[in-house]
Amino acid sequence: MSTVKDSVSTPENALLAGQATPSLGEYMRTYLVRVRSGDIGSLPIILGLIVIAVIFQSLNENFLSARNFVNLIVQMAGITTIAIGVVYVLLLGEIDLSIGYVSAVSAVIMTLLLREPGGWPWYLAIGVALLAAAGIGLVQGLIVTNFQLPSFVVTLAGLLVWSGAVLILIGGGGTVIIQDKVVIGIANYFLPSVWGWGVAVVAVAWFALSQAMQVHSRRQRGVSTRPLSIVTFQIIGVAILIIGVVYVANQDRGVPFVGIILLIFLAWFTFLATRTKFARYVYGVGGNKEAARRAGIAVERIRVEVFMISSIMAGMGGIVLGSRLRSVDTAAGGGNLLLNSIAAAVIGGTSLFGGSGRVASAFLGALVIATVENGMGLLGLSAGVKFVITGLVLLVAVLVDAISRRGRAQSGIG
Amino acid sequence: MSETTPNVAGPPPLLELKGVSKNFGAVQALLKVDFQVRVGEVMALVGDNGAGKSTLIKGVAGIYTFNEGEIYFDSRRVAINGPRDSAALGIEVVYQDLALADNLDVVANMFLGRERIEKLWRLDEVSMEQACVETLDSLSVTTLRSVRRAVAGLSGGQRQAIAVAKAVMWNSRLVILDEPTAALGVAQTRQVLDLVKRLAERGLAVVLISHNLHDVFEVADCITVLRLGQKVAEFVARQTTQQEIVHAITAGQVQHVPGMEVAS
Ligand SMILES: Nc1ncnc2c1ncn2[C@@H]1O[C@H](COP(=O)(O)OP(=O)(O)OP(=O)(O)O)[C@@H](O)[C@H]1O
Ligand SMILES: [Mg+2]
């Protein structure tokens, strides 16, 4: 590839020249242009989190304590897990209203299988519970695709059916206690501080290595990539974040085991949604279903698979929630679990109209929702006030997205 | 049947349709149409709205199957029963309505459905990006600043260029373009027409559907005129005039009277 300077004047090479790796200055300049034109990514939500934290801390000094921080991680785990599935469904431009009660169905199945005497081992109980969730997703997905029905209606029916199933399965007792140590440990075990640090080291090293390898291979093969300084900043940023979390958690009970599970989910589902063929197909179908079909993609199959991911993640979330409460009762899966999970994905920046969003948005959105709930809990506010505030946060998030999209449309970034 | 039957010496047609018909219920969209295109040649397909142009190429692309008639490709009789059959023959279509996914970037669109994979199920982004840049470069598409931009932010001409580049990247031998300049301004039409010429120079066979006779005369070697689902004329572009084409489009003699032979 020729240098940028002499190829700009020769039109034959203009495209190749445009692909050269930008300098740090150029990179920052394009970033600023994008921010100014509304392509702001996660910026508003991070600012929002800071604002929320400052408000709650000024109202109650326990908010930013290590103890509450650890609580927050445990509190957000269930919604985050379910919201990951929501992100995939929204990427297709579909919706899944059954996730709340599907999570409860999984939790109930697991709990009943564990019940003594004659309880199953935890891994079999969890496995069967997740298989049931996958089966539900398969059936709902097949109904949506085979009969060309709106997913809204099919999963609305699912919502009713599975809420009934929970009541039937639990039966007269009303509450089933979980006694299995492993299952309880999912949301109630905290890593000793040495282990916490070990995880931090592995996570940071793994992130740094994967970033470095990516940049290296792109450089070597002569395609444009991020400037090295930016990559370094990103790695340092992630390192500070992870080390900070582990440090604070270690001041209290330690890193919650469920936090590690979330980290693994984040890594795996981000990989699945960015680096694989499946990712391309999900975004392609969400962006332009007809184009995907003409490109030979098995559109209906992708849709069914995504409904299965949604149900499986709901099932996992249900298990996490059950573990946290150490029991499952007839109220499981109800309340505002469904709406909070969808709101988490949307607040995090995933579009309701398909084709745009990231797995990380499930984490950011769930963090916002859990923070607001946690903070208001500390302040002793009533459930009514909590709903109103959470609703307003959702509204603000969607408004910010709409306004930034308008800016993007005007500047043609898209 | 045609007013001027060109007698072009040279290679046999790459694609030849003999007496193809297609009806949608009572609507006879195509009736006993003969059509051919040679390697290195741009064949324009013109006709009024509803003349059957899109139906003809959709039959070739495997989206519809003809009710009767024969398809020859490379002088061999072939059956095209689906988009994969035509893709396997090396036929690529740029549709009237583009078929790009707005939210994906240029590379992702060019490889949609045929991604390259490296180990561990990972997309081979680097090699796809290189192939994409190479193809765009070989077609002298120079106005793109980055192949990693979502196509939503591109101009109509750039999008069309990508749709065309996508069609030629797959060792295609016949590229069919359905009204590729319909929505474009002067400069962008220019780009696309240049691109069409380059495809023929590269030894591909090209079918171009257009309502703009000025564009047709600029790039086409031959012109086939459809009227009311029938072929009324085929011209060598250099030996005819716009008036003659307009006359064929609006008043060309149809040979078969619909309803007489197809009454069965
Ligand atoms: N799927 C369909 N079902 C029923 N009739 C159809 C269908 N597709 C095309 N037709 C009919 O077949 C005839 C030819 O249509 P076609 O789309 O091939 O025209 P065209 O020459 O491409 O027109 P245009 O210049 O407007 O694109 C028209 O009368 C149209 O109404
Ligand atoms: Mg048409």
Banded model confidence at residue A407, pLDDT cuts 50, 70, 90: low
For residue A70 the two structure tokens come to 């650890």
List pLDDT tens digits, range A354-364.
888 999 999 99
Q: Are B259 and B31 in contact (CB under 8 A)?
A: no
- Going by the DSSP 8-state scheme, the letter that residue B51 receives in this structure is S
User: CA–CA separation, B60 vs B6, rounded Å?
Assistant: 23
Chain A residue numbers with beta carbons less than 8 Å from the beta carbon of B127 are 221
Mean pLDDT computed over A340-366: 91
What local confidence, expressed as pLDDT, does residue A257 receive? 96
Q: Are A347 and A399 in contact (CB under 8 A)?
A: no
Round the average pLDDT of chain A to a whole number and report it: 88
Of A15, A356, A412, the CB nearest to B144: A15
What local confidence, expressed as pLDDT, does residue A408 receive? 62
What local confidence, expressed as pLDDT, does residue A414 receive? 43
Taking 70 as the threshold, does the pLDDT of residue B1 lie above it?
no
Locate the DSSP E strands across chain B.
15-24, 27-37, 42-46, 68-73, 76-78, 91-94, 174-178, 205-209, 222-227, 230-236
User: CA–CA separation, B167 vs B174, rounded Å?
Assistant: 9
Q: Pick the residue whose CA is nearest to atom 25 on ligand 1.
A: B49
Taking 70 as the threshold, does the pLDDT of residue A40 lie above it?
no
Ligand 1 binding pocket includes B47 (Cβ within 6 Å): yes
Mean pLDDT computed over A261-269: 95
Which of A22 and A336 is assigned the larger pLDDT? A336
Taking 80 as the threshold, does the pLDDT of residue A222 lie above it?
no
Banded model confidence at residue A278, pLDDT cuts 50, 70, 90: very high
Banded model confidence at residue A237, pLDDT cuts 50, 70, 90: very high
Chain B residue numbers with beta carbons less than 8 Å from the beta carbon of A11 are 140, 142
Residue type present at position A245: V
What local confidence, expressed as pLDDT, does residue A2 receive? 37
Round the average pLDDT of chain B to a whole number and report it: 86
pTM: 0.85
Banded model confidence at residue A9, pLDDT cuts 50, 70, 90: very low
ipTM (interface predicted TM): 0.81
Ligand 1 binding pocket includes B192 (Cβ within 6 Å): no
Q: Where are the domains of chain A?
A: 1-31+191-255
DSSP-derived secondary structure for A354-398:
SS---THHHHHHHHHHHHHHHHHHHTT--HHHHHHHHHHHHHHHH
What local confidence, expressed as pLDDT, does residue B263 receive? 41
Please state the φ and ψ torsions of residue A102, each to the nearest 5 degrees: -65, -40
Of A11, A283, A290, the CB nearest to B142: A11
User: CA–CA separation, A310 vs A287, rounded Å?
Assistant: 19
Banded model confidence at residue A410, pLDDT cuts 50, 70, 90: low
List pLDDT tens digits, range B22-38.
999 989 999 999 999 99
Taking 60 as the threshold, does the pLDDT of residue A4 lie above it?
no
H/E stretch holding A187 reads helix A181-188
Q: Give the pairing of strands B174-178 and B205-209.
A: parallel
User: CA–CA separation, A141 vs A318, rounded Å?
Assistant: 20
The chain A residue lying nearest B155, using CA atoms, is A412
Listed ranges A21-35, A143-157, B8-22, B91-105; the one with the highest mean pLDDT: A143-157
List pLDDT tens digits, range B159-183.
888 888 888 788 789 999 998 888 7
User: CA–CA separation, A255 vs A246, rounded Å?
Assistant: 6
Banded model confidence at residue B206, pLDDT cuts 50, 70, 90: very high
Ligand 1 binding pocket includes B24 (Cβ within 6 Å): yes
Using a pLDDT cut of 90, give the percent of chain A over it. Answer: 60
Q: Are A365 and A398 in contact (CB under 8 A)?
A: no
* Mean pLDDT lowest among A35-39, A94-98, A134-138, B224-228: A35-39
User: CA–CA separation, A214 vs A123, rounded Å?
Assistant: 36
- Alpha-helical segments (H) within B8-147: 53-61, 83-89, 106-110, 125-138
Mean pLDDT computed over A235-241: 93
Going from the C-alpha of B202 to that of each of B95, B163, B176, B194, the distances in angstroms are 21, 17, 15, 12
Mean pLDDT computed over A58-83: 94
Taking 80 as the threshold, does the pLDDT of residue B113 lie above it?
yes
Which of A218 and B40 is assigned the larger pLDDT? B40
Under 8 Å CB-to-CB from B117, ≥6 apart: which residues?
A277, B123, B124
Banded model confidence at residue B191, pLDDT cuts 50, 70, 90: confident
Of B84, B126, B149, the CB nearest to A223: B126
Taking 70 as the threshold, does the pLDDT of residue B262 lie above it?
no
Ligand 1 binding pocket includes B12 (Cβ within 6 Å): no
Q: Are B17 and B53 in contact (CB under 8 A)?
A: no
H/E stretch holding A328 reads strand A327-329
Banded model confidence at residue B9, pLDDT cuts 50, 70, 90: low
Residue A268, CB-side half-sphere exposure with 13 Å CA sphere: 11
User: What's the CA-to-centroid distance between B59 and ligand 2, angstroms?
Assistant: 13
User: What's the CA-to-centroid distance between B53 and ligand 2, angstroms?
Assistant: 6
Banded model confidence at residue B87, pLDDT cuts 50, 70, 90: confident
* Mean pLDDT lowest among A50-54, A92-96, A138-142: A50-54
Diameter of chain A measured on Cα atoms: 81
Banded model confidence at residue A101, pLDDT cuts 50, 70, 90: very high
What local confidence, expressed as pLDDT, does residue A356 receive? 87
Mean pLDDT computed over B68-88: 90
